Amino acid sequence: MNFIQEKLAKMRISRKIALSFVVVILMGAFLLTLPISNRGWTWLNPLDALFTATSATCVTGLVTKVTADQFTMFGQLVILLMIQIGGLGLMTIVAIFIIHLKSRLSLNDRLMMKEMLNQDSLSDMHNFIRSILRYTLIFEGCGAILLAIRFIPQYAPEYGIVRGIFNSIFISISAFCNAGFDTMSATSLMPYVDDPLVNIVVMLLIVLGGLGFAVWFDLRDRFRDMRKGKFTPSRFWKYLSLHTKLVLLMTSFLIVVPAVLIFCVEYNNPATLGALSLPGKLFAALFQSVTLRTAGFASLDIASLHQSTKFLMIICMFIGGSPGGTAGGVKTTTIAVLALLVLNQLKNRDEVVAFKRSITQSVVIRSAMILFINLFSLVIGLFILTLSEKATFLHLFFEAVSAMATVGLSANVTPTLTVVGKVVIILLMYIGRIGVITLIISIIRGKGSAQKTLSYPSGHVIVG
């Protein structure tokens, strides 16, 4: 036991993060194979159990078996626990127990939390984690109460009181964690495509989970300062951090513009928006746009969408949500930094500047690295899928991006995956959740700091 503790203590933080998700996935997969987790008391295929556990822990939502049809209440509780752990991050859960049991975090624990939560500082980590837990419970609790209004017997007699409450809690947690799992049916939220309450509550939970913890607290602190009279409401925007400004702008753009395009393209499609009323069309278009923040719920049949709509969704899914939250993708700020790099270069500016603040070169380089490595991993996964699967290229492309960006939407490809296809999607979901840079650092052992001091003569490369 001491030997294992010593090994863990010496293990680099990135490797601990990668390993922690593997442990949770394997434990979850084992529990999901058990007869108690499956309807009819049958053993679930281990690969399907591993697929479901990976999808839940990596808060993706892709499933080879319909959750409501395959799993018992116990199995669904196992999935729900994995979603909550995966959404908040395993180390957040561990740190919460450490705080309440020991009231302190070791330096290694705090470094790991910093890595998991994308924080720049180790200061006041206790209060930061407590705030994450408190706000998560508030958001998920309020969401469950509001959804229960629709899912209790008066509106959904097929569920009953207990099942209606459980569905409300499950969907609230799944939406906030951007997981995309539901316990309703194979049609996800399609029966509620034009229901204002369900649409608004789920969309709010998705956005709140996808903004990132740092953005919540920055907004909270600025509102407090404004109420205390430190500045007027007209100057509220000025006092927000650069990170918050970029996240809010990119999130707004990536919700509004795709929603408008989906509304226009699908307006007369009889299989999607065509049969709905005008309010229903607006709700459905907005919902599909919001769910691309990597939530994975669907109120329309994805396979029936126009090809142009699917391609638009692929782009939005790849970008994903914001860092430090429950969403996946390459992140809104990564794309924002690279777009600012191009814009500043066109203006012949050496620095990357936004809102009168310069962005460091290390952040720009990291953004480029994230984009390149994600694209590289995606291309490899997609290439293998084209060899092993019989679906169209666009649908395979959609599936691969949905897995790597931990979105969970599918054009009905997931249930038809071969063994090779399932393994590829499992790997893409895992890579997408822990982050490609974290995975690479956890595998590659550094050669020491001595080489970092070496410098080489510059060489000329022609590009463009």
Chain segment 302-351, per-residue pLDDT in tens: 999 999 999 999 999 999 988 877 788 899 999 999 999 999 999 888 88
234 occurs within a structural domain:
yes
Secondary structure of residue 192 in the 3-state scheme: helix
150 occurs within a structural domain:
yes
286 occurs within a structural domain:
no
CA gap 92, 249 in Å, rounded? 27
pLDDT tens per residue across span 207-265: 998 888 888 888 998 999 998 888 888 889 999 999 999 999 999 999 999 999 999 99
Mean predicted lDDT score pLDDT of the chain? 85
Task: Give the domain range for residue 157.
Answer: 10-238
169 occurs within a structural domain:
yes
How does residue 184 score in pLDDT terms, banded at 50, 70 and 90? Answer: confident
Closest by CA to 243, choosing from 160, 363, 348, is 363
118 occurs within a structural domain:
yes
Determine the pLDDT at residue 123: 57
How does residue 63 score in pLDDT terms, banded at 50, 70 and 90? Answer: very high
pLDDT above 60: residue 148: yes
228 occurs within a structural domain:
yes
129 occurs within a structural domain:
yes
pLDDT above 80: residue 205: yes
pLDDT above 90: residue 435: no
Question: How many domains would you assign to the chain?
Answer: 1
Determine the pLDDT at residue 449: 45
Q: What is the mean pLDDT of residues 100-123?
A: 54
How does residue 4 score in pLDDT terms, banded at 50, 70 and 90? Answer: low
How does residue 447 score in pLDDT terms, banded at 50, 70 and 90? Answer: very low
CA gap 357, 334 in Å, rounded? 16
C-alpha angle 269-397-80 in degrees, rounded to nearest 5:
85
pLDDT above 70: residue 107: no
Rg (CA), the chain: 22
225 occurs within a structural domain:
yes
